[in-house]
Amino acid sequence: MLKRLSLLSFVVATTFLVGACGQGSAKCPTKEQVKTSVKDLIPQDFTVESVSQLQNIKGLCEVVVKVGAQPLVFYMDSQGQYLLAGNLISLKDKKNVTRDRQQEFMKVSAEQLKELEKHVNIRLGEGSKYVYFITDPDCPFCKRSNPIVEEWSKKKGVQVRLILYPLPIHPEAFGKSVAMVCDKKGFKEYTEGYTSNNQCENGKKAIQSNLELMNKLGISGTPTFIGMNGRMHSGLPTEEDLDKLVN
């Protein structure tokens, strides 16, 4: 099940930030001013990716920051004195402007892709194209994703590389993940909810390493898909969603 990042919940709960340090330019505060202003609101390390003036709303600036691979979009005034968090909706075309911008920045780097490859636990299918499927064996949305992913993999000739990521809300998921690694089980056993008493040290280390990597990337929910092009998708996917990860 998807789980909001703690930093997202924290920032969204904080509607305004008063008394930000420094004065912005005539249009928007600089990246450095933004980082100084919001650093106490975001407990993890983050980078300021973009600061730009909204075209249709005078005096309001869009800010995009990233924690690992996870983007967060919020808004500030031109002087960097106030922060507004939440979804900006265009009433004219009923579009969620904030969510659309987050999707644009949902991407990992080439270096992060190389790191993900070291954490693959199960492979499904063959082909030169591939996606990473970050999954919890007890996550209901992951279970609903399994047949979609399997059919798509066969149809498109794409290899699916599973990284087991047991969430703390599923108390048996860690042991199941370790058992699959220790017993060298594949996709079929994963979908059947495989478990055993084999809790070997190598398996525990592998799953713990997965947890640490996801924390580093800012990924706190399953299912999450990362494509060979670096793009990300969170939640139950459609075939179209998966296609975007390999094109």
The domain that holds 194 is classified in CATH as: 3.40.30.10
Residues 67-103: tens digit of each pLDDT: 988 899 999 999 889 999 999 999 999 999 999 999 8
Note whether 209 and 120 are same-domain residues: yes
Asked if residue 171 has a cis previous peptide bond (ω within 30° of 0), the answer is no
- Local structure of residue 138 (DSSP, 8 states): T
Given 76, 104, 132, which residue is the final one in a domain? Answer: 104
Name the residue with tokens 């979009």.
Answer: 73
Percentage of the chain exceeding pLDDT 70: 89
Note whether 75 and 115 are same-domain residues: no
pLDDT band at 17 (very low <50, low <70, confident <90, very high): very low
Kind of pairing, strands 158-164 and 129-135? parallel
Note whether 168 and 190 are same-domain residues: yes
Note whether 76 and 127 are same-domain residues: no
Measured over the CA atoms of residue 189, residue 193, residue 196 and residue 202, the dihedral's sign is positive
Give the C-alpha separation, 51 to 27, whole Å: 10
- Range from 8-12, 110-114, 201-205, 210-214 carrying the lowest mean pLDDT: 8-12
**What's the first-to-final CA gap in the chain, in angstroms?**
27
Given 82, 104, 126, which residue is the final one in a domain? Answer: 104
1 part of a folded domain? no
pLDDT band at 155 (very low <50, low <70, confident <90, very high): very high
Give the C-alpha separation, 6 to 11, whole Å: 9
Residues 183-226: tens digit of each pLDDT: 999 999 999 999 999 999 999 999 999 999 999 999 999 999 99
pTM, entire model: 0.78
Give the C-alpha separation, 192 to 81, whole Å: 53
pLDDT band at 25 (very low <50, low <70, confident <90, very high): very low
Note whether 163 and 214 are same-domain residues: yes
Kind of pairing, strands 224-227 and 129-135? antiparallel
What lies within 8 Å, CB to CB, of 131 at 6+ separation is 158, 159, 160, 161, 225, 226, 227, 228, 242, 245, 246
The answer, yes or no, to whether residue 8 has pLDDT greater than 60, is no
User: Number of helices (H) and strands (E), helices first, in the chain?
Assistant: 9, 11
Is the Cβ–Cβ distance between 233 and 224 less than 8 Å?
A: yes
The whole domain housing 36 covers: 6-104
Q: Which residues pair with 65 in a beta bridge?
A: 48, 72
Provide mean pLDDT across the span 46-62: 93
Provide mean pLDDT across the span 37-47: 91
Give the C-alpha separation, 115 to 219, whole Å: 14
SS3 of 47, please?
strand
Is the Cβ–Cβ distance between 191 and 145 less than 8 Å?
A: no
Note whether 224 and 210 are same-domain residues: yes
Average model confidence (pLDDT) across the chain: 89
Please state, in angstroms and as integers, the Cα–Cα distance from residue 241 to each residue in 3, 60, 238, following that order: 20, 31, 5
Note whether 28 and 132 are same-domain residues: no
164 part of a folded domain? yes
Asked if residue 223 has a cis previous peptide bond (ω within 30° of 0), the answer is yes
Stated as kind and residue range, the H or E segment containing 70 is strand 70-77
Note whether 128 and 219 are same-domain residues: yes
The answer, yes or no, to whether residue 104 has pLDDT greater than 50, is yes
Give the C-alpha separation, 133 to 225, whole Å: 5
| Residue 34 confidence (pLDDT) | 96
Note whether 95 and 118 are same-domain residues: no
Give the C-alpha separation, 58 to 36, whole Å: 24
